[in-house]
Amino acid sequence: MERAVGTSVRRKDGDAKVTGAAKYIDDLTFPGMLFGATIRSTIPRGEIAATHLDFSSDFIVADYRDIPGKNYVALLDPDQPCLAERQVRHVAEPILLVAHADRRALFGIESRVRFDYQAQPPNYDPETSDTCFKQIAIDKGDIDRGFRDAAVVVEGEYRTSHQEQLYIETNGVIAVPGDGQITIYGSLQCPYYVHKALVVLTGLDPARVRVIQTETGGGFGGKEEYPSMLACHAAILAMKSGRPVKMIYDRVEDLLATTKRHPAIIRHRTGLARDGRLSAMDIEVIMDGGAYATLSAVVLSRGLIHAAGPYRCDHVRIRGRAMMTHTPPNGAFRGFGAPQTQFGVEAHMDRIAESLGLDPVRVREINALRPGDTTATGQKLGQDASALLVLREAVKRSRFKQKRRQWRGTNRGIGLSLFFHGSGFTGAGEVKLASKASLELTATGARILVASTEIGQGTRTMLAQIVADVLELPFAAIDVHEADTDFVPDSGPTVASRTCMIVGKLLERCARDLRGKLGTLTPAQYLKRHGPITVTQQYEPPPGLLWDDQRYAGDAYGSYAWGCNVVELEVDPVTYEVTPIHVTAVAEIGKAIHPLMAEGQVQGGTAQGLGYALLEEVVMRDGRMANAQLTNYIIPTPMDAPPIEVAMLESPYPHGPFGAKGVGEMPIDGPAPAVINALRHCGFDLRSIPATPERLMKARS
Amino acid sequence: MLLTINGKKRRLDVPPMTRLLDVLREHCGLTGTKEGCGEGECGACTVLVDGVAADSCLVPAAQVEGCEVVTIEGAAAKPWGTALQNAFVEHGGAQCGICTPGMIMAALPLKAGASRDEIKTALAGNLCRCTGYISIFNSVEAGLKTRLPRRAKVTRARRR
């Protein structure tokens, strides 16, 4: 029989999406439905002294006193209120909720509310902040000895700024109240995160809370934690009014209020032997968490584990902290801390090469992690450590060395970056999650039951391919149940490049189990003889995977995907505009279950990374995003898209389904440093992104 | 007001400044047309008005009186409609799918064998955050190379 894995089968959600039949949250209506809106703080920090309302009786108005359970958005730390009570910590913090039957009645709703504030002085500088959300230290070897052995020391400071996920579908949910229960429909990545938050907020029994993901128009991390907040708001209004309530953010509100990528300051002090070998890496990372903890602790963690890059060095010291500032909380965004820290280390590597008079490929070749080497956390890498493989492939394909020579002194530049990305939750995270996946036998095949969501990346299709091949059934015989907490088990969140490697593996085990039970029977025969059957598997760590959370040492991830980017660009000598002209993106991901979709992840992530590098700037003025519109928060358009040549390499990971590792996030780690290194090749000494024309002009003068 | 939507004459009673986007989604139940920004930047709401791609979030109802409007739900009846839709599935042009209806509507007026530059220009007002655009260009290119299915030919002949 023809195999599905490794072929680009027709994606399951494709036809509905191209005909307009797919139903996104704003496409749904319920009888008697109201529309909800949020009244937010207009100051960055202070206390609400008095509230003045001017609403007629046809409005439903709710505040924190309408919360039946606990007033915080349950995630990691219980510090973020669902609705501010007295203290506000950032602009656009939710204070009141309003609902009305006519959506138009909510336009300009803010004018009906006035708050008297007692303002307090805000702080926007993470370095001077007196509140630390999380500190992490990673130590390997003896840093002092590493520096004693060094012939050369290179130092540098690198900075990255906010980035908005900018899914094209804004955040939105509908809450439907029932008799002592609540159902949420929404655009979201993690149904069970929303479920957990609702249980805490409503005080309802978990069985009385139901979360259903609707077709989701992009996530990129931006629908990891924020939908919990929004679902809580809609639930409060729905319970107060007894009617379904739809809340859809417009683009301005989505940009002003929801999470962004953490800005970061990364400082490197590196000791090297004369030949370019790393002898000591001393790294400091400061992340701006914004006003509440949200996911900052884990973003910092992933950032630090990737901070030394894909390089071997015996003596490493990494110190990091996530600090509070009075801006809207920063949160999950594809890459989750690693794009920031790998920007730092990769920009630094080119400066190291420059100070030693080495070429940027050579300095990376000497130091790249090889199978059997250990990472900064002391993880011994397996045979699928592919740093050298991707580096050599990218250099060869792009004719890097030749162009590097030819273009010197011109307005054209070429730069590269080498990077890696751990698949799955960090450290003991997957063990703590203890995810489950189920497979139900149907008359013609099987139905997948997981909470992993389709957000465009191809979850439904990719998981069905894995199951089809193990069961030796056609791809079309495998259905995927919608992500509905009343039916699917908790397979963990759809984040961290974990859906294929972790949940895919669980389903592979389910399918093997089911296949054993079927024996020689067809599904129809089995059902007739034995009745319905559903098999469930729970995560078990691969043998030997060990992590010490106290020392922050050990096997940080089951495996890593590896990437190398070469960016070729041109700088306009008059306007300082940068035009990327070609990108080579080499990715080693274990196994491409669906080559076309995997390539789509690499192309899309690379384009998003080019936006991060060159265009995307969140202008924060007095704690408020000043450019909260698509007109002036600029993402790449079709006219900005350079050709991206993707090469997919496969070094199978023995514990992934069919050898697969994660692919979703890694592609965004590489473009920004490759761009900065290409600009360095053109003579611009830039240490921060985005590399806007204004910054380039300054760097030149 | 009177207008034609996807080949059907409709009489609608809406305030003249209602956005065409809302007319389609709320009054006609045609939810395939999406809203991404409400200010004409993202193109998710692209429809054809008398054969020309337009951002329906910027068009007041009064302006389309007597016009022929085509949305994604009516795309299959246009030349290239099904070919483009199919190509977006086969060539990876649709990931999350929220920009897809707008992309397909913006590509519909293109001619057979359009060059990559012509495709880029036609899609210049449409944003996608998933694909990096390459697979969208590939999809449009492949769609425009497909031999027109019989149904589309008939529709075109009849309309002349």
**Nearest CA distance, A23 vs chain B (angstrom):** 8
Nearest to A630 among B39, B88, B91 (CB): B39
3-class secondary structure per residue, chain B: CEEEECCEEEECCCCCCCEHHHHHHHHCCCCCCCCCCCCCCCCCCEEEECCEEEECCCCEHHHHCCCEEECHHHHHHCCCHHHHHHHHHHCCCCCCCCCHHHHHHHHCCCCCCCCHHHHHHHCCCCCCCCCCCHHHHHHHHHHHHCCCCHHHHHHHHHHC
Strands (E), A397-451: 412-423, 436-441, 446-449
For residues A272-292, give the mean pLDDT. 98
A126 band by pLDDT with thresholds 50, 70 and 90: very high
Residue A629: closest C-alpha in chain B: B37
Instruction: Please judge whether B135 and A596 are an interchain contact, meaning their C-beta atoms are less than 8 angstroms apart.
Output: yes
Nearest to B129 among A17, A167, A639 (CB): A167
Nearest to A17 among B30, B31, B94 (CB): B94
Tell me which of B25, B39, B95, B110 to substitute to probe the interface with A (most A C-beta atoms closer than 10 Å).
B95
* B78 touches A at CB < 8 Å: no
**What is the total residue count of chain B?**
160
Q: How many C-beta atoms lie closer than 10 Å to residue A208's C-beta?
A: 16
Q: Residue B115 and residue A415: Cα distance in Å, rounded?
A: 30
In order of A217, A221, A260, A389, A621, the CA distances from A166 in angstroms are 10, 10, 9, 33, 20
| Structural tokens at position A669 | 């780690």
Instruction: Please judge whether B85 and A19 are an interchain contact, meaning their C-beta atoms are less than 8 angstroms apart.
Output: yes
* A600 touches B at CB < 8 Å: yes
Instruction: Please judge whether B94 and A14 are an interchain contact, meaning their C-beta atoms are less than 8 angstroms apart.
Output: yes
Beta strands B46-49 and B52-55, pairing class: antiparallel
* Residue listed under structure tokens 């409503």: A202
- The pLDDT assigned to A2 comes to 77
Instruction: Please judge whether A168 and B42 are an interchain contact, meaning their C-beta atoms are less than 8 angstroms apart.
Output: yes
Q: pTM for the full model?
A: 0.97
CA angle A636, A638, A642 (to 5 degrees): 75
Confidence check on the interface: ipTM exceeds 0.90, yes or no: yes
Tell me which of B85, B103, B130 to substitute to probe the interface with A (most A C-beta atoms closer than 10 Å).
B130
Instruction: Please judge whether B98 and A217 are an interchain contact, meaning their C-beta atoms are less than 8 angstroms apart.
Output: yes
Q: Residue A395 and residue A616: Cα distance in Å, rounded?
A: 28
Instruction: Name the burial class of residue A448, with classes exposed (0-12), middle (13-18) and buried (19+) by CB atoms within 10 angstroms of its CB.
Output: buried
pLDDT digit string, tens, across residues B106-149: 999 999 989 999 999 999 999 999 999 999 999 999 999 987 65
pLDDT digit string, tens, across residues A495-550: 999 999 999 999 999 999 999 999 999 999 999 999 999 999 999 999 999 999 99
Instruction: Please judge whether A218 and B130 are an interchain contact, meaning their C-beta atoms are less than 8 angstroms apart.
Output: yes
Nearest to B127 among A168, A170, A216 (CB): A168
For residues B39-66, give the mean pLDDT. 98
* B103 touches A at CB < 8 Å: no
- Closest C-alpha to A100, from A216, A270, A237: A237
Q: Residue A392 and residue A418: Cα distance in Å, rounded?
A: 10
Percent of chain B with pLDDT over 90: 89
**What is the total residue count of chain A?**
701
| Structural tokens at position A343 | 């920007």
**Nearest CA distance, B66 vs chain A (angstrom):** 24
For residues A381-408, give the mean pLDDT. 98
Q: Residue B23 and residue B46: Cα distance in Å, rounded?
A: 14
pLDDT digit string, tens, across residues A345-355: 999 999 999 99
Provide the 3-class DSSP secondary structure of residue A495. coil
* Residue listed under structure tokens 């908005």: A164
Chain A contacts in chain B segment 20-59 (CB below 8 A): 25, 30-39, 41-42, 44
B156 pLDDT exceeds 90?
Answer: no
Tell me which of A18, A19, A165, A640 to substitute to probe the interface with B (most B C-beta atoms closer than 10 Å).
A18
B155 band by pLDDT with thresholds 50, 70 and 90: very low
* A23 touches B at CB < 8 Å: yes
B152 pLDDT exceeds 90?
Answer: no
* A13 touches B at CB < 8 Å: yes
pLDDT digit string, tens, across residues A168-220: 999 999 999 999 999 999 999 999 999 999 999 999 999 999 999 999 999 99
B21 pLDDT exceeds 70?
Answer: yes
Average pLDDT, chain A: 98
Tell me which of A11, A19, A27, A454 to substitute to probe the interface with B (most B C-beta atoms closer than 10 Å).
A19
Q: Residue A461 and residue A255: Cα distance in Å, rounded?
A: 31
The single-letter DSSP state of residue A239 is: H
Task: Tell me which chain A residues have a C-beta less than 8 angstroms from the C-beta of B38.
Answer: 250-251
Phi, psi at A272, each rounded to 5°: -135, 150
pLDDT digit string, tens, across residues A330-348: 999 999 999 999 999 999 9
| Structural tokens at position A382 | 């397996």
Task: Tell me which chain A residues have a C-beta less than 8 angstroms from the C-beta of B91.
Answer: 596
pLDDT digit string, tens, across residues A11-53: 999 999 999 999 999 999 999 999 999 999 999 999 999 999 9
For residues B91-111, give the mean pLDDT. 98
CA dihedral sign of residues A601, A602, A607, A611: positive
In order of A158, A244, B137, the CA distances from A31 in angstroms are 54, 8, 41
- Inter-chain contacts counted by CB atoms under 8 A, chains A and B: 163
Give the DSSP per-residue string, A137-195: EEEES-HHHHHHT-SEEEEEEEEE-------SSPPEEEEEEETTEEEEEES-S-HHHHH
- The pLDDT assigned to B147 comes to 72
A135 pLDDT exceeds 90?
Answer: yes
| Peptide bond connecting A636 to the previous residue in cis, omega within 30 degrees of 0 | no
- The pLDDT assigned to B44 comes to 98
- The pLDDT assigned to B149 comes to 55
Q: State the distance between the two ends of chain B, measured CA to CA, in whole angstroms.
A: 25
- The pLDDT assigned to B146 comes to 87
Q: Residue A305 and residue B124: Cα distance in Å, rounded?
A: 39
* B85 touches A at CB < 8 Å: yes
pLDDT digit string, tens, across residues A293-342: 999 999 999 999 999 999 999 999 999 999 999 999 999 999 999 999 99
In order of A350, A424, A552, A573, A692, the CA distances from A696 in angstroms are 18, 37, 39, 10, 6
Radius of gyration of chain A (CA): 25
Q: Residue B17 and residue A159: Cα distance in Å, rounded?
A: 46
* Residue listed under structure tokens 């959600």: A13
For residues A646-664, give the mean pLDDT. 98
Instruction: Please judge whether B127 and A635 are an interchain contact, meaning their C-beta atoms are less than 8 angstroms apart.
Output: yes
Task: Tell me which chain B residues have a C-beta less than 8 angstroms from the C-beta of A20.
Answer: 30-33, 71-73, 75, 101
Tell me which of B26, B48, B78, B98 to substitute to probe the interface with A (most A C-beta atoms closer than 10 Å).
B98
- The pLDDT assigned to B158 comes to 42
- The pLDDT assigned to B148 comes to 65
B160 pLDDT exceeds 70?
Answer: no
Provide the 3-class DSSP secondary structure of residue A373. coil
Give the DSSP per-residue string, A282-339: EEEEEEEEESS-TTHHHHHHHHHHTTT-SB--S-EEEEEEEEE-SSSPP---TTTTHH
A543: Cβ contacts below 8 Å, ≥ 6 apart: none
* A607 touches B at CB < 8 Å: yes
B151 pLDDT exceeds 70?
Answer: no
For residues A61-89, give the mean pLDDT. 97
Residue A638: closest C-alpha in chain B: B124
pLDDT digit string, tens, across residues A550-569: 999 999 999 999 999 999 99
Nearest to A20 among B72, B89, B123 (CB): B72
Nearest to B129 among A27, A168, A250 (CB): A168
Average pLDDT, chain B: 93
